[in-house]
Amino acid sequence: MTDWLPVDAYLVESLPEVWFGAVMFALGMYLVLDGFDFGIGILYATLDDEHDRETFLAAFGPVWDANEVWLVAFGTMLLAAFPRVYSRLLADHYLLAIGFVLALLFRGLGPELREQRDDDRWKRYCDLSFVAGSALAPLLFGVLAGRWVFDAPTLSLPAVLTGVGLVAVSVVTGAAFLAAKTDPGLARPLRRYGIGATAAYLGGVVALLAVVVLTDAGGAADVILSWPVAALVAASVLSGVAGSVFALRGRYRAWLASALTMPALLTVLVAVLLYPTVYPATGLTVREAVVSPLALNLTTVLGFPVLLLVLWYFKFLYGVFSGPIEADGYGE
């Protein structure tokens, strides 16, 4: 294999940067796709009606397992390309990371188990586990991300605002996804929650960036005052406002498209703030933290075509389950 795979040079000169982009792409896919799952979980708490609850669960039932795998893809790609960053990032945020995975665990079990037994108390426990896990997971992941990007303590404004921001943007995408998948009767209250969460998210992002500029957390003040960040913030505000207008006009697919842009832009913002390092606390740049050429070349040659295939599966999966959900949910 080493005959045709370069051992001492990257396949293309910019491969380390490409992998930084690939890792951020996986993170973005996770925040976008599992983000709306979290949002559905949080909005679920607003329902009283059993039929509505089942509709919410049916809306994401066939896809959430697959959405969650993007987290594993993100983690393992980070390990494969930047092992030192992976190990430091998790070792430095031990309790947050474990808390996050436990929250994911509760989120995942709730909907899976509630249908196994026709018993109101059992269903209440499962619902509680689902809602709490759905709210805690993005909160803890956001706090972890805030610490990661800004090198800030757990209970500091940058970390907490990032956590709250991630919860808010999840509610926005969750509301938009549900509105696009369910009937108008259910969509109406979702608009209110979605627009409120949009305002909270945009306000949170602006407050976060202001705090970071004022305190120069993680030395990020200069970057934040640069034009790419200004453009990203402007684009986020534009998506949020446009999405809210679409929501009010009942154009839910357009709302969904605008809403999903927001976590995607957030990921780009994270990438801009981090680069050229992957984890500022290590002081290592992308080039210093990346694995040796042979390992990265191999992961590229074997991994990238598969990544394209994965994107194709997702298109297929969402295609199979496209359109409004049926009255009885999907399947058997």
Integer Cα distance of 207 and 224 in angstroms: 12
The correct pick among 217, 266, 284, 286 for binding other proteins (CB under 8 A) is: 284
Instruction: Report the candidate in 41, 32, 57, 31 with the shortest Cα–Cα distance to residue 134.
Output: 41
CA–CA dist 171, 166 (Å, integer): 9
Selected binder of other proteins within 13, 91, 121, 184 (CB under 8 A):
91
Query: Of 2 and 227, which CB lies nearer to other proteins in the complex structure?
Result: 2
Nearer to other proteins, 114 or 191 (CB): 114
Among 11, 113, 207, 233, binds other proteins (CB under 8 A): 113
Q: Is 184 in the site for other proteins (CB under 8 A)?
A: no
Whose CA is closest to 246, among 238, 234, 235, 254? 254
Phi, psi dihedral angles at 284 (to 5 degrees): -95, 135
Q: Which region, judged by CB under 8 A, interacts with other proteins, from 176-184, 211-219, 256-264, 286-294? A: 286-294
Asked if residue 153 binds other proteins (CB under 8 A), the reply is yes
| Angle of CA points 33, 186, 325, to nearest 5° | 55
Beta strand segments in the chain, E: 277-279, 284-285
In the complex, least distance from residue 91 CB atom to other proteins, rounded to whole angstroms: 4
Q: CA-to-CA distance for 130 and 111, rounded, in angstroms?
A: 7
Kindly tell me which of 175 and 291 has the beta carbon lying closer to other proteins.
Answer: 291
| Start-to-end C-alpha separation, the chain | 47
Please give the Cα distance from 331 to 325 (Å, whole number).
Answer: 11
Distances (CA, A) of 143 to 93, 210, 265, 330: 10, 17, 18, 35
Q: List the interface residues with other proteins, window 304-323 (CB under 8 A).
A: 306-307, 310, 313-314, 316-317, 320-321
Is there binding between residue 59 and other proteins (CB under 8 A)?
A: no
Query: Does 331 participate in binding other proteins (rule CB under 8 A)?
Result: yes
What is the helix (H) or strand (E) element at residue 95, kind and residue range?
helix 94-114
Check residue 90 for interaction with other proteins (CB under 8 A). Answer: yes
Q: Does 277 bind other proteins (CB under 8 A)?
A: no
Three-state DSSP at 251 gives coil
The one among 21, 47, 53, 97 contacting other proteins by CB under 8 A: 97
- Which residues of this protein are in contact with other proteins, per CB under 8 A? 1-2, 5, 7, 61-63, 65-66, 68-69, 71-73, 75-77, 79-81, 83-84, 86-92, 94-95, 97-98, 101-102, 104-105, 108-109, 112-113, 116-117, 153-155, 284, 288-289, 291-292, 294-295, 298-299, 302-303, 306-307, 310, 313-314, 316-317, 320-321, 329-332
